[in-house]
Structure 1
Amino acid sequence: MHDEAWDRTPIEPQSVDAPLSTSAIFLVVTIADGAEAADRVRDVISDIGGLVRAVGFRDLGGHLSCNVGIGSAAWDRFGQPSRPAQLRPFFEVRGPVHTAVSTPGDLLFHIRSERADLGFELERLLLGKLGDDVTVVDEVQGFRFFDSRDLLGFVDGTENPTGASMARSSIVGDEDPDYAGGSYVVVQKYLHDLDAWGRLTTEQQEHVIGRTKLDNVELDDAPEGQQSHKSLATIVDANGVEHDILRDNMPFGRPGQKEFGTYFIGYARELWVIEQMLRRMFLGDPFGDYDRILDFSRAVTGTTFFVPSNDLLESLAG
């Protein structure tokens, strides 16, 4: 268990625990080779707050925000004297049937707002400032779907921590004092086979997810054998302590291209919690009894980042 020292830290995190928005943009880029490109990019991201304020001031009710995550390789290129204790690349998890792939990414921009045009304008200006120093490797526009459901029809993010536990689950504390106020974040883009999913009965779908579809009531865990997605994604340590993460998943899709998906984004105080969750999902517990949601949802990206505190992000400027 962590002590309560985190609650006394004066360090200001980025907007990790902002409320669920109506729209979001998930932008992952790589940085061009060379020290000069890295220096220019570092200067741009250190002033992201100014850019957010310039766009967001047009409608304060739009609640525009942007979290900046820095990948392991990019962190080394920014010339910092040390590294966050758990920052490392996303490790591929190759299961008996499905694989959590690892894909490139130096920077993550998680843009949230209540108006899609505010997010669009921020992304446009941001990419204009970054110019040829970055290459976009993934860009997803997410949206809130009815009562916070995913495209599989189930409410998503029900088990998110609330209140003070939200920060304790997602924000680094005194255990890594140089990086207190930061957060580890893992992103994965999942594509759904809605035709195959739709061939299941509602009862079969509920068994896969571990909740009722209509009213989102949690089902009991299976006493043995195949576990639900809900059970496999719950992490309990050897002392019986449950470890939470903060999810801000969003549906996305292009019906004309038959593309339907969920963008998973998980913020965590301790990266190992998300890594263990993915191992349980893709490998199974016991091995082979993998998460059956993966038969209908295929992971096509996977990248890890560290979201520094606002103070540390601003200090990156050359």
Structure 2
Amino acid sequence: MLRSWILALVAVSGLAGSLARAQELECPRPEVGPLETTPSSGAEGVKVDSFIKVRFSADYFVGVDFGETLVGLYENLADTRGFVELGDPVAGTGQVVGDDVFFLPAETLRPNQRYAIVAEDLDALTSLQADFETGASFDSGPPRLGSVSAPSTEKVGATCESEGGYRVDLLLAGVTEDGPTSSVELLVYLARQEDLEAPELVLRERASSNDEIPLGFVLSEERTHDPACVVIHAVDGVGNVDDDMEPVCFEPIQGAFFNGLCSASGAVGKDRPSGALGLGILGALVVLVRRRRRARSTC
């Protein structure tokens, strides 16, 4: 009972602090409901074995047991891009994983076909639509990450997104992917630091086709007293994961200290973030579904 009260007090205190910061900074009201889709709107050459993913706002599905029904896939009958005219719905199943809704089509998508993703909020109001076009091939493997620059850091004040601390900036030398690069999600984890019990997801960002992709996040003041290491994972539109990147280590406060924590190789790279592991399991599930589809098509 006491523990529950303390946790509730901490939560309320944190919420009060966030509200006070928002009022002081005149922050806009955060978006609630569906935020973005994979494949992204306008994507071309989408693999025919892709699934659909819609990311919702944080904690949107807490206490909700029908989130999987909020996302549907339809044939897009429009003649010109930019306007969605819905055709027949595509059969499939939905599944909620964290703040994401996955829709797995019952059959492989038709080649060179335009589709429309429709996501609704809990009030059954259509709030997000996206159209894309398939190519004619299956996915051939996971995306491949380029090299990462040495992180740079800078002290920053409070913003609408954080309470301040040190901003960490990285530069990723592109992503190689056989499908649309916009279907690749980059997951940045704080992978090793004193008192860090498990890898911590600090940034989710959609990849771009640029040769250099800037990535940035803010470490709280509490996280700047020890050297830190980050790793980047990449997940494509069928659930394949590139998690082979070696950790990149740095001093949050440049020149303040550096010990053997990050200079020692081996153990750091073995810390597999649980979020990426969960997506890897989902990817394996999709592979099984894909094999089942192929087996049916040969019958």
Give the structure-1-normalised TM-score: 0.23
Q: Which has the higher helix share?
A: 1
Give the structure-2-normalised TM-score: 0.24
Q: Which has the higher contact order (CA 8 A, sep 6+)?
A: 1
